Chains A and B, each alone.
Chain A
Amino acid sequence: MKSDIIISGVGGQGTITIAATIGGAALNNNLNLKQSEVHGMSQRGGSVVSNLRISDKEVFSDLIPFGGADIILSIEPMESLRYTSYLSENGWLVTNVTAYDNIDNYPEIEALKSEIKKVKNSIILDANKIAKESGSSRSNNIVMLGAASHFIDIPTDELEKSISQFFNAKGDKIVNANIKAFRAGREFVSGLI
């Protein structure tokens, strides 16, 4: 078993939360993992990426090799394309469609979508909309986790357990909202694959 996951977005969008949730589930199940994160300067509205590596064998490198990622999970469409050189031949690119437009020369969204569709296996979804519909507009990152969960070799209930653990300190209401967001994201992609 091996899952190499690139999680991308813009500083502050919750990439580390996604990585920590999957990581927690992996650790609960005695899998090995390494999770490389971006801290510091780039967190100020810059592009950020987590390299999450899970395996039942030893994981050596903290970085996923180029051409080795099983999944690119992106909370932002342009950021999903920044890491396509990491994607393996049969890997999946799963991205949110909502742009985080904090730069002058942000591309046209339709142009981004057509570039994303050039990737062999890609899924574009509106995580912000799905999050809002499921009653928790701030959980778009967890919607994305749900969407990508089809391609992660960890059982759904284990991921949900980890989400509960992660948000436990914030109370049942927040836990339930995030579980709901996770299921909505997962459900959306079920219809596409």
Chain B
Amino acid sequence: MFNGVKLKKNKYNKLFKCCIFSLDYTKLYKSMKKLLLGDEAIAQAGIDAGISGMYAYPGTPSTEIMEYIRASKTAKEENIHMTWSTNEKTSMEGALGMSYAGKRAMVAMKHVGLNVAADAFVNSAITGVNGGIVVVVADDPSMHSSQNEQDSRYYGKFAQIPILEPSNQQEAYHAIINAFDLSEKLNVPILVRITTRLAHSRSGVELIDTKREQNKLELPKNPNQFILLPSIARVQYRALLDNYPTFIKESEESILNKYTDGSNKKLGVVACGIAYNYLMENFIDKDIDFPILKVSQYPLPKKYIAKIVAECDAILVVEDGYPFVEEQIKGFLDNDKVHGRLDGFLPRDGELNPNIVAAALKGEKFEKTADPEIVQPRMPSMCVGCGHIDAYNALNEALEQYGKGRVFSDIGCYTLGAYEPFTAINTCVDMGASITMAKGAADAGLTPAIAVIGDSTFTHSGITSLIDAVVDKSKIMVLISDNFTTGMTGQQDSNALGRIEKICEGIGVHPDHIRVFVPIAKNHDEMVKIMNEELAYDGVSVIIPRRQCVRTLKDLELNAQIKELGLA
């Protein structure tokens, strides 16, 4: 069978050149192929585009972008900045500073991270850039590892900047390289939106031959460009607005957007980003007779949208995420020939797939056949030997006298304490919310209230919350479960390492009420005793169960750091 494949190699090569990649970049670049995750293709593209800095906080499904750069020999040789940031806002601001200095910077985060970075992100559209900035945001339709499925394209539109939404790994690679040129040409950051499916799927990617040199250190030509005082901001904002028609023109001329005409005008399909693949999957052995507009660059290419809507009797919009494009085309007056997620042709939520799109083309709904009844759900759980488990066992016992319903938790492995057998927590909303929600509940009279937060989440967004609690002398107990790592996303560096007590003391938590212990079964009674003492305290107490994440025990570098800091 394999020989058969070999014989067809010439045919394959021909196919490869004309349609393997929807972009005909093979003419522009020739080189080798590498098997890369979507995230990794993006990271490699950043290196090849000559970035001087990569800024990110770990978050599924974006984490592998920074991880790839941190493991890259070239990135190290090139001295590319690649320290994990404390959160997404500091990432975005770091990139903006690097841009001010004339160099290229890439930022990566998960979709909810963009909420954290939003202030810097939206205003960076008004400052514009000096060195190019590309902000990669990985959305998570179907919430595989997230608390919502918000669609980052709305943020791009809100900031009024161009958005790229590549449909596959190869396109992502070239899109990132082009995005840096586009950013410097148009004087705005570029948002690149991907979804879990692209981020975590591998494919062969051809790389360009020669990487770009990094930009030289160079101050902005206009010394006021980055000073957003109202008098200057008004001018800058006007310039951004004046630039918008150029952004539309760029979209209309972009190689990423492709209009394929068809003789059957009963239906026209607008397919965005990865949803284009789910459409095309249904036509591998069949001809397509209807017009298709593939959209991978925004603002929407106006002339193509106008053409497909004018020529076709009905329009189906397929997009992963919210009905972002559908809503724009449909408009306020509810053009009833536009179909998609809003009118039930496609499901309103969740990730698309080839079957769902196939059904929608026929005006039907796809129903997945049920799994055999014998199959039971298998939820993720904390690892055997995890310190969070011992901390929860002690907390549950300590809280028996106060009753349930008063534990405010946060985002991390310890959120799994919501499941049996612990059912130890009552909330999980956003990074850092544990402490401020506990404080708010205590303000309302629910005392004692308990916050459970991890070390990395604490430095990400818990410090400001703790200041609020200290200022109000709130009767809360904050449990910072310190395992020296950002665990859930795969054990990345924690910027809290060796800093937690000093931070808490510096904020004003009384040193007598900062209690550290090792969460292991044999310390159970001692832990319960300490918790009981602090639960009775009329003020802010911080208790720190501290034990290394079992998944990092072989990490020699981390072990050396822990030893040097005297943490274990």
User: Are A78 and B376 in contact, CB atoms less than 8 angstroms apart?
Assistant: yes
| B35 part of interface (Cβ distance < 8 Å) | yes
Determine if B355 and A44 form an interchain contact, defined as CB atoms under 8 angstroms apart. no
Q: Mark A42-72, 1 if CB is under 8 A from B, else 0.
A: 1111110001000011111111011100000
Q: List 26 A-B contacts (CB under 8 A).
A: A1-B5, A20-B35, A24-B35, A27-B35, A29-B5, A30-B9, A35-B202, A37-B37, A40-B61, A40-B490, A41-B145, A44-B381, A44-B383, A45-B380, A46-B380, A60-B276, A61-B354, A62-B201, A63-B278, A66-B353, A85-B370, A102-B378, A103-B378, A107-B376, A115-B374, A155-B2
- Nearest chain-A residue to B9 (Cβ)? A30
A44 touches B382 (CB 8 A): yes
Interface: A36 (CB within 8 A):
yes
Chain A residue nearest in CB terms to B18: A58
Q: Does A31 contact B (CB under 8 A)?
A: yes
**Chain A residues proximal to chain B, CB less than 8 Å:** 1, 10-11, 20, 23-24, 27, 29-47, 51, 56-63, 65-67, 78-79, 81-82, 84-85, 102-107, 111-112, 115, 153-155, 158
Q: Which of under 10, 10 to 19, 20 to 34, or 35 or more describes the interface residues of B?
A: 35 or more
Decide: B278 and A40 in contact? CB cutoff 8 A: no
Give A60 to B170 CA distance when docked, in angstroms: 12
Give min CB distance, B261 to chain A, whole Å. 20
Which residues of B are in contact with A by a Cβ distance under 8 Å? 1-2, 4-5, 8-9, 12, 15, 19-20, 33, 35, 37, 60-61, 63-64, 144-145, 168, 197-198, 200-204, 274, 276-278, 280-281, 284, 353-355, 358, 368-372, 374-383, 413, 416, 420, 488-490
Contact of A38 among B2, B144, B420 (CB under 8 A): B144
* Known contacts A62-B198, A81-B372; is-contact A34 B60 (Cβ 8 Å): no
| Chain B residues in 8 Å Cβ range of A105 | 376
Q: What chain A residues lie within 8 Å of B358 (beta carbons)?
A: 65
Specify which of A42, A56, A78 lies most central, judged by the most chain B CB atoms within 10 Å of its CB: A56
Closest to A37 in B: B200
* Contact present for B488 and A78 (CB under 8 Å): no
B371 close to A85 (CB less than 8 A): yes
Quick one: closest A residue to B204, CB to CB?
A: A27
Q: A23-B35, A33-B35, A36-B201 are known contacts; what are 8 more A-B pairs with Cβ within 8 Å?
A: A23-B202, A42-B144, A44-B488, A45-B383, A58-B15, A63-B197, A65-B281, A66-B368
CB distance from A152 to the nearest CB of B (A): 10
A-B contact count (CB 8 A): 166
**Is there contact, CB below 8 Å, between B145 and A34?**
no
A34-B203 contact given A27-B35, A58-B15, A158-B2, CB 8 Å threshold: yes
A85 to B370, CA, bound (A): 8
Known A1-B4, A44-B381, A56-B12; contact A37-B376, beta-carbon cutoff 8 A:
no
Do the beta carbons of B355 and A81 come within 8 Å of each other?
no
Contact yes or no, B200 A36, CB < 8 A: yes
User: Which 6 A-B residue pairs are closest in the complex by CB-CB distance?
Assistant: A40-B60, A40-B145, A46-B380, A44-B380, A61-B281, A36-B201
CB-CB under 8 A from A45, the residues of chain B are 378, 380-381, 383
**Could you say which residues of chain A place their CB within 8 Å of the CB of B12?**
30, 56
Q: How far is the CA of A11 from the CA of B158 in the complex (A)?
A: 38
Chain A residues lying within 8 Å of B9, measured Cβ to Cβ, are: 30
Name the residue on A nearest B197 (C-beta). A62
A158–B2 Cα distance when bound, in Å, is 10
Give chain B nearest CB distance to A58 CB in angstroms.
Answer: 5
- Interchain CB contact (< 8 A) of B202 among A37, A81, A158: A37
Residues of A within 8 A of B63 (CB): 39-40
Please determine whether B353 and A61 come into contact, CB atoms closer than 8 angstroms.
yes
Decide: A57 and B277 in contact? CB cutoff 8 A. Answer: no
